[in-house]
């Protein structure tokens, strides 16, 4: 059992770091108001997202000026903490925060049977916010012990709008952009496209080293250690293969053969672990049949464009695929469900088909770095035309580019050609 004095010293140290952390990295996040609005209901609030995406800062901002206790379990001094020690943690929080009504538990999934502790706190009337960097562990345990009594908020690295806020640029509710506005915003986009959206990356000198270290920590601590993976080299090989083939079609069979793995289930497991840790995301081919979607190759996307540049060979030179990856990240930030379209002959494609909750397609988004080349433009338009013939009624169609704008027509439908920075701020 942990010594109470040791736990108290750690929590006091952590508490002293809050003000500096919030001052340094706070930016109003798109989900902040939603978290704040639900603060006083009885539900446990779960802020889930990739490591170092700003979950703790968001939680501290929401709880600012309220009587709340805080403990960060992703602290090496608490690495040996067990379930039986959690009551000591609670006692210390009560001592340090008179009148405590709210409790913030950072990276709580590091402790075995944490959900029972949270359940007890909730039954005793405390308002709980927990953070975690593994979607599966949080959802699995909460579904078992807090069914219908929790709400999940997913946080990603800075969006472009959040990045502009971080840089002191107000882009809210902007309808008309002057020539100067466009030039300034495009310049900021170039910085964002290169540096990515992890909040801490802007305060480090060697961004590539920082991002590679983050990537390795996600693989070793959030995946290998958590899932007790013995063959970590194989895990890293599969991760690097995925990183080098982002925004491309990947099949389990191809990865299995590339590394002479004995079982395709190993590949499935490794990729699912990476998704649960928010490192990579899979997009399925559009089909009304579930079995057919599972059979088709998936397209994989990474959590951050700068991270892909730092760890992969292809990430350093393929702006078109990086642009596509960036568009995907914005779509999931906005809560859209996406699939990609490929015709029956695999000749024409559309990068993203946005579907509603019933699975009905509503919008098409094609991504093309440069529509100035006639051959490229024709290929993208043919993909959209094929999809329109297949789907029929579609509400909106976009071609997102690096810097070109205008309108096109295909199948009697208007196609909006939009520069990436402008589309990200819509």
Between 312 and 135, the more confident residue is 312
- Tokens representing 380 are 């993208």
Same domain, residue pair 218 and 300: yes
In angstroms, the CA 315 to CA 306 distance is: 8
In angstroms, the CA 152 to CA 45 distance is: 6
Residue 55 has pLDDT above 90, yes or no: yes
Of the three residues 288, 311, 334, the one that is the final residue of a domain is 311
Q: What percent of the chain has pLDDT over 90?
A: 70
Question: Would you state the pLDDT for residue 169?
Answer: 87
SS (H, E, C) 109-143: HHCCCHHHHHHHHHHCCCEEEEEECCHHHHHHHHH
- Please tell me the total count of domains within the chain: 4
Residue 140 has pLDDT above 70, yes or no: no
The pLDDT tens digits for 11-30 are 999 999 999 988 888 888 99
Q: How does residue 226 score in pLDDT terms, banded at 50, 70 and 90? A: confident
| Listed residue (346, 347, 340) closest to 325, CA to CA | 340
* CATH number of the domain bearing residue 417: 3.40.91.50
| Mean pLDDT, residues 260-282 taken together | 93
Region of poorest pLDDT, from 159-168, 179-188, 241-250: 179-188
Same domain, residue pair 146 and 80: yes
Question: Would you state the pLDDT for residue 172?
Answer: 67
Residue 87 has pLDDT above 70, yes or no: yes
Of the three residues 256, 284, 311, the one that is the final residue of a domain is 311
Same domain, residue pair 262 and 131: no
Number of H helices, E strands in the chain: 18, 14
Same domain, residue pair 337 and 412: yes
Same domain, residue pair 34 and 108: yes
Question: Would you state the pLDDT for residue 176?
Answer: 63
Question: Would you state the pLDDT for residue 44?
Answer: 92
In angstroms, the CA 74 to CA 293 distance is: 38
Same domain, residue pair 115 and 38: yes
In angstroms, the CA 74 to CA 76 distance is: 7
Same domain, residue pair 112 and 17: yes
Same domain, residue pair 142 and 11: yes
Same domain, residue pair 296 and 322: no
The pLDDT tens digits for 279-293 are 999 999 998 787 888
Same domain, residue pair 73 and 186: no
Domain range for residue 247? 204-311
- Best mean pLDDT range from 1-5, 13-17, 250-254: 13-17
In angstroms, the CA 269 to CA 277 distance is: 12
Question: Would you state the pLDDT for residue 314?
Answer: 64
Question: Would you state the pLDDT for residue 417?
Answer: 95
In angstroms, the CA 86 to CA 353 distance is: 46
* CATH number of the domain bearing residue 285: 1.10.10.10
* CATH number of the domain bearing residue 31: 3.40.50.300
Question: Would you state the pLDDT for residue 340?
Answer: 97
Same domain, residue pair 79 and 49: yes
Helix (H) or strand (E) holding 90: helix 86-96
Same domain, residue pair 23 and 54: yes
| Mean pLDDT, residues 107-120 taken together | 89
Of the three residues 203, 229, 259, the one that is the final residue of a domain is 203
For residue 129, give the 3-state DSSP assignment: strand
Q: How does residue 174 score in pLDDT terms, banded at 50, 70 and 90? A: low
Bridging pattern class, strands 150-155 and 44-49: parallel
Q: How does residue 115 score in pLDDT terms, banded at 50, 70 and 90? A: confident
């Amino acid at each position: 059992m942990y010594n109470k004095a040791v736990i108290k010293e750690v929590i006091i140290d952590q508490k002293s770091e809050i003000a500096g952390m919030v001052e340094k990295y706070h930016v109003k996040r798109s989900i902040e108001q939603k978290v704040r609005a639900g603060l006083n209901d009885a539900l446990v609030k779960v802020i889930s997202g990739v490591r170092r995406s700003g979950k703790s800062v968001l939680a501290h901002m929401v709880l600012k000026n309220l009587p709340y206790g805080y403990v960060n379990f992703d602290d090496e001094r608490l690495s040996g903490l067990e379930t039986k020690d959690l009551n000591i943690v609670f006692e210390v929080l009560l001592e340090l925060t008179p009148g405590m009504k709210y409790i913030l538990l950072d990276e709580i999934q590091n402790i075995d049977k944490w959900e029972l502790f949270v359940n007890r706190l909730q039954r005793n009337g405390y308002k709980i916010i927990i953070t975690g960097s593994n979607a599966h562990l949080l959802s699995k345990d909460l579904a078992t012990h807090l069914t219908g009594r929790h709400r999940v908020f997913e946080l990603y690295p800075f969006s472009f709008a959040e990045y502009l806020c971080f840089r002191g640029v107000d882009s809210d509710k902007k309808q008309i952009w002057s020539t100067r506005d466009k030039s300034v915003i495009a310049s900021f986009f170039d910085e964002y496209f290169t540096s990515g959206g992890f909040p801490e990356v802007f305060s480090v000198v060697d961004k590539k080293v920082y991002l590679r270290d983050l990537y390795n920590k996600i693989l070793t601590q959030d995946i290998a250690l958590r899932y007790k993976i013995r063959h970590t080299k194989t895990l890293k090989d599969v991760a690097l293969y995925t990183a080098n083939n982002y925004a491309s079609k990947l099949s389990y069979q191809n990865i299995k053969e590339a590394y002479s793995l004995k079982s395709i289930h190993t590949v499935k497991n490794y990729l699912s672990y990476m998704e649960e840790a928010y490192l990579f995301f899979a997009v399925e081919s559009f089909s009304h049949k579930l079995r057919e979607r599972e059979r088709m190759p998936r397209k994989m996307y990474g959590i951050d464009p700068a991270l892909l540049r730092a760890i992969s060979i292809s990430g350093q030179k393929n702006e078109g695929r990086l642009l596509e990856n960036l568009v995907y990240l914005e779509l999931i930030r906005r809560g859209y469900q996406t699939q990609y379209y490929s015709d029956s002959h695999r000749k024409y494609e559309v990068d993203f088909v946005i579907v509603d909750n019933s699975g009905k397609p509503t919008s098409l988004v094609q991504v093309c770095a440069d529509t100035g080349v006639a051959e490229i433009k024709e290929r993208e338009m043919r993909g959209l035309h094929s999809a329109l013939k297949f789907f029929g009624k579609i509400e909106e169609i976009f071609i997102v580019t690096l810097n070109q704008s205008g309108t096109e027509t295909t199948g009697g439908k208007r196609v909006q050609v939009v520069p990436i920075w402008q589309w990200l701020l819509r």
